[in-house]
Amino acid sequence: MSRRQPGKWRDESGSFTIEASLVLPVVLVVTALLLFLCLYIYQKSMLAQASAARPSARHISGTTAIKRHAPDPWSKDCMIHCIGG
């Protein structure tokens, strides 16, 4: 049997619970931050790749202007056509 001395904390039962409750949130926050960092780097690299591919696509198509597939809704031709006037 363990001998207890009055006024001193000698019992270590429950110390793992206290340590785990302090360490687990730190581990979860670090894991989430690493995940967000990886997603940020991935998005940044995809954006750089897309912007690098755009000039070569324009070169292949032989034009420097971006072609619009839909007419401008504020142009005179579209208003006449859409309204029917």
Closest CA to 82 of 7, 17, 74: 74
> Tens digit of pLDDT for each residue in 27-63?
999 999 999 999 999 999 999 888 877 666 556 666 6
| Number of domains the chain contains | 1
For residue 43, tell me if it sits in a domain. yes
For residue 72, tell me if it sits in a domain. no
| Secondary structure letter of residue 27 according to DSSP | H
Please state the pTM of the whole predicted model. Answer: 0.49
For residue 58, tell me if it sits in a domain. yes
What token pair was written down for 71?
């007419």
Residue 49: which residues within 8 A CB-CB, separation 6 or more? none
Q: Tokens 């006449």 appear where?
A: 80
For residue 84, tell me if it sits in a domain. no
Tell me how far apart the terminal alpha carbons of the chain are, to the nearest angstrom. 101
Indicate the average pLDDT of the chain: 75
For residue 80, tell me if it sits in a domain. no
For residue 26, tell me if it sits in a domain. yes
* Domain range enclosing 33: 13-63
